[in-house]
Structure 1
């Protein structure tokens, strides 16, 4: 299976980098861009800052090394695309309508289809080969289960009591129904992906190594915006954040960040493949 980054992958990723940079700069520089309560506006602007300082560099570095046929770079690139798919879907749904709405939708769409295109052309056996014997699959699979359960408990603690009492969740009452976007994305996509990665990793299936790397890079990249936004909301009075909710917000992303670093460090460099020139020179 092909593993090199195709030309359209490069063009689409560069488009995401350019649009994301422009959108975040507008959000930071333009007064009144976000039409929301002051506490939420502050969290949106800090989210823009973390996109510029973390999300964009991760995607750019991943593209650079993936373009040089690096398995480690490919995992970072795919994780960066997963992050952009997640963050721009969340922004398009959560942020009150403004002039950049179609830009948000475009960023979500381009990131999603580029991610899918990159995944289907990934050589999973090659990724597994760089980690074979160097990754404790039981440890990583168990840790992923803990991360998935942490996210599930975090959001279900909002949803289940509301369903039992027949009242809207407190978050939806305070910040509006669009604030439930994270519940939808995490419970509907992220948590199942984490559990799937764990199940495949326990069985040492090739795609388990790929999915594990991608979800860990996604979690590590989300650590900054989620952590910062949680702290801002806890300090303000716009949205109520309980100590339990705060704990379950920080735990999964902290575990993901640590495991992502160790996962990437565990990937052994591949031996250089002989070039045509080297082949011609050999006796």
Structure 2
């Protein structure tokens, strides 16, 4: 029987030593951002009135839910995935880009929506460290290597999930914004936060939802860049659902009237997103 030689899977080793060194810098920077976020979120939960006392009740509930997700999931996941990526896991590196996307998105909202207070510069630091880590980490990836590693992924399932979910949220946000524009009033999503406009609407409609649709289309067209970016888009959508699912429980604990109705549709979208993400990254 002839001797067989095996080569390591792409996920076992980084594509190039230089690429690994460049990425390692950003893994370390993101770990610093995660540490700051972990401490800042802990302080926010320990001193809710001192940090969020000037916001509306609805805003406070959402901020508490976000801090819980940051403290329990996002910050620890960033640290763990950065370490696994440094150890050579391509899949961990791809998941890491998604957690950073979620973190940068939410800290952009923190910095531009919540009154300046004792944690403001910490929020700015997390936003900066996370954003530049994401940019540097994506630049260190090689689309062809990622596409080869995920060659057996169910592209149609992944691509259509991204396109359909992003399109659905686009229509949902427009259903609040467009009538408000026509009637000359503040959109409901902004009114309950006492803001002139809802930052979620702005970031989603201008940047994130078009990006998710574009990534889904690239996946359907079998472009390597689409597969490289798809994990980040999926993780972003899944993690975005978590604070929404936690908020009704926070509202109930604080004596308010929870919006339990959101649990069903958001729960389904989030659960299906987890399944699609597993299918995308599963080894075959």
Q: 1:160 and 1:263, CA in 2 relative to 1: closer, same or farther beyond 3 A? A: same
Distance 2:96 2:271 in 1: 20
Who is 2:6 aligned against? none
Q: Deviation at 1:105?
A: 1.4
Q: Deviation at 1:240?
A: 9.6
Q: Contact conserved, 1:19 with 1:103, CA < 8 A, in 2?
A: yes
Q: Deviation at 1:238?
A: 7.7
Q: Deviation at 1:258?
A: 2.4
For structure 2, the residue ranges without an aligned partner over 5 or more in a row are 1-14
Who is 1:65 aligned against? 84
Which of residues 124, 130, 133 is equivalent to 1:114? 133
Who is 1:10 aligned against? 27
1:207 counterpart = 2:247: no
Distance 1:177 1:63 in 2: 36
For structure 1, the residue ranges without an aligned partner over 5 or more in a row are 269-283
**Deviations 1:82-110 (CA, angstroms, capped at 9, x unpaired):** 11111111221222221111211121111
Q: 1:13 and 1:191, CA in 2 relative to 1: closer, same or farther beyond 3 A? A: same
Q: Contact conserved, 2:154 with 2:279, CA < 8 A, in 1?
A: no
1:197 counterpart = 2:215: yes
Distance 2:282 2:127 in 1: 29
Q: 1:5 and 1:234, CA in 2 relative to 1: closer, same or farther beyond 3 A? A: farther
Q: Deviation at 1:174?
A: 2.6
Q: Deviation at 1:117?
A: 0.7
- TM-score, normalisation: structure 1: 0.84
Q: Deviation at 1:12?
A: 0.8
Which of residues 67, 85, 94 is equivalent to 1:75? 94
Distance 1:82 1:38 in 2: 27
1:24 counterpart = 2:41: yes
Q: Contact conserved, 2:153 with 2:281, CA < 8 A, in 1?
A: no
Q: 1:81 and 1:15, CA in 2 relative to 1: closer, same or farther beyond 3 A? A: same
Distance 1:230 1:30 in 2: 20
Distance 1:156 1:239 in 2: 25
Distance 1:257 1:19 in 2: 27
**Deviations 1:51-103 (CA, angstroms, capped at 9, x unpaired):** 11111122122101111221101101111211111111122122222111121
3-state DSSP class of the match of 1:69? coil
Who is 1:150 aligned against? 168
Which of residues 119, 123, 129 is equivalent to 2:148? 129
- TM-score, normalisation: structure 2: 0.83
**Deviations 1:225-261 (CA, angstroms, capped at 9, x unpaired):** 1221256569989899695x76664454343222122
1:99 counterpart = 2:140: no
Superposed CA RMSD: 2.6
